[in-house]
Amino acid sequence: MRDFEVWASPEPTVARVDAERYVDQLALTGHGDREGDIRLLASLGVDASRTPVLWERTAPNDPLRVDLGSARRRLGALAGAGIEPIVTLLHHGSGPRYTDLLDPAFPALFADYAETVARAFPWVRRWTPINEPLTTARFSTLYGVWYPNLRSDRAFGRALVHQTLAQQEAMARIRAIVPNAEFVLTEDLQRFAAGDGAARGYVDFLRERMYVSIELVAGRVDAAHPLTSYLVDRCGVLPAELAAVRAGATRPDLVAFNHYPHSERYLFSAEDGSVGDVPAVYVAGQPPPRAAPLLWEAAERLRLPLALGEVHVHGTAGERVRWLAQHVDDVRTLRDASVDLRAIGVWAAFGMTDWHSLLREDAGISEDGIFTFAGANGVPERTPLAQAVAELAASGRVSSVDAEGWWDRPDRFIPPAEMHARYALGIPEGNHLVRSAAQSRA
C-alpha cells in the first residue's frame, strides 16, 4: 500500500530563448498534438498529472483571443481517465510576445489569463500558475540564458516581483471562481557546497536565495528577512513593493520541488578571480545527489506540505528506474519521520529534447522518459520506467532495480577548474551527460 500520490507529467516548456526564438517542447515531443497520450498515462494507474494550459500556446498574439479548444479536449480526457490535472499556466516562459518578465503590465495580463482559464475549467481543483519562478528569473535575468538574456540584479528583482504579484493575483482570480482551488507552487530543489573559504559567503547567500520565491509569495519577506537588504539595495525592489507582496500573501497549499543532479552545485575560487559554479555531482569528495536531506531542510524551514514534482535523470533506461527508486526510498524515509511529503511526480512522460544546453542549441539530442521520445510524428512506446511507475502506483514501491547510476560511479569526476573553463568557452555543462549516455549505450 502507498500513502502518497503518484504523478506522471509531460515536459511542457515553451521558452523564449531570445528576442526572436521560442522553443516548444510540446511540439518537439509531439505531446501537444497527440491526444492518445492520455491513454498511455492512464495505463500507469497514476493519480494526477501536471498539465500545461500554457499562455504562449493559447493566446500567442492577442491577450483577448484565447483558444482553449485543445486544452478542453486534453483536460476532459484526463478527467475521463480518472487522472486529476494540476494545471500549469506558464512553464519556464516569459509569456507571449506582447509581454515579458520585466513588463510592468505582466502581472495584470497574466492574472487576466488565469481568470479566463479558470472560467473555462471551474472544475479544476489544483493550479500551478508559474512553474519554478526563481529558476526562470535566474536563467532569464542573471545568467542570460533565456529572454530577456540579461545579467543584472535589478532585472532579477523585477522578474521576481512581477512573477510573485502575478501568482498572487492569479490565485485570487482563480479562487473567486473556484473557491476550493489549491495553489501548487513548484521550484528547484538545490544544494550548495563551498570548495574554499572565499566561496563560503556566497554559498550562504545562495542557500537563502533558494527559498526566496516561495517566501515572497507567502508574504514572509519582511524587514527581518535575510534577503531584504539584497532585494532593496542590489535589486532595486522598493520597500513599498515588498509591502504590497506581503499584503497579497498567498500561502501555497503544496510546494513541489524538482530534483536533478545538476541542481546540486559546488562553488569555488577560480583562477580567473571569479567564483566557479559547477555541478557538485562531478566533484571528487562531494556526495552523490540525494533528495532526502534537502527535503528535510525545506520542511524544517518552510513548514508547508511538500512533494517531489519532477523526478527525471538524463541516463539509460535502467538509470532512470534507479533514479526513481532512489527518490521513492527518500519519500518513504521522510514520511516515516513524519515529514508531510504528499506526492512523487515522475517527469518527462514523453521525453524531452536539447535540455543538455538549456534549449540554447538546436541539436536534436532527445531523452526518453516514462515513454520513448517519439517526436512530432511518432508513437511513444513504454520503457522500463513505465513498468516501474505502474508498480509504484499500485504498491508504493519500485523493485527490480539492477542498474548502477552514473551519479554514483567514480568515473563521473571532472576537475572543477576544467568544468569552469568549459563553461567560459560556452560549452554546455550537460554535454558531459550526452557523451556518458552515448558511451553507456555503445
Residue 2 pLDDT grade (very low, low, confident, very high; cuts 50, 70, 90): confident
Residues 226, 208: Cα–Cα separation, whole Å: 7
Residues 416, 275: Cα–Cα separation, whole Å: 11
pLDDT in tens, 354-392: 999 999 999 999 999 999 999 999 999 999 999 999 999
* Preceding peptide of 148 cis, ω within 30°: yes
User: By three-state DSSP, how is residue 8 classified?
Assistant: strand
Which of 89, 79, 127, 389 lies closest to 254 in space, CA to CA? 127
202 pLDDT exceeds 50? yes
How many C-beta neighbours within 10 Å does residue 387 have? 15
pLDDT in tens, 60-89: 999 999 999 999 999 999 999 999 999 999
Which of 382, 379, 355, 352 lies closest to 370 in space, CA to CA? 382
pLDDT in tens, 217-249: 999 999 999 999 999 999 999 999 999 999 999
How many C-beta neighbours within 10 Å does residue 227 have? 18
Q: What is the pLDDT of residue 248?
A: 98
Which of 387, 343, 329 lies closest to 184 in space, CA to CA? 343
Handedness of CA 182, 187, 193, 197 (dihedral sign): negative
State what percent of residues in the chain have pLDDT above 70.
98
Write out the residue range of the structural domain in which residue 266 sits: 5-441
Question: What CATH number has the domain bearing residue 331?
Answer: 3.20.20.80
Q: Cell triple for residue 373?
A: 521520445
Residues 235, 238: Cα–Cα separation, whole Å: 9
Q: Cell triple for residue 400?
A: 527490480
Q: What angle do CA 229, 235, 237 make, to 5 degrees?
A: 75
* CA 339 centroid distance within chain: 21
Count of the separate structural domains present in the chain: 1
Using the structure block, give the residue that is written with the C-alpha cell 558511451. 439
**Mean pLDDT along residues 142-164:** 98
* CA 151 centroid distance within chain: 21
Residues 181, 440: Cα–Cα separation, whole Å: 45
pLDDT in tens, 247-275: 999 999 999 999 999 999 999 999 988 99
pLDDT in tens, 342-358: 999 999 999 999 999 99
* Torsion, Cα of 58, 62, 63, 67 (10° steps): -30
Contact in structure between 295 and 189 (CB atoms under 8 Å): yes
Which of 368, 385, 384, 434 lies closest to 406 in space, CA to CA? 434
* Helices 106-120 and 153-177, axial angle in degrees (round to 10): 30
Mean pLDDT of the chain: 95
Read off the DSSP letter of residue 371.
B
Which of 162, 301, 140, 158 lies closest to 231 in space, CA to CA? 158
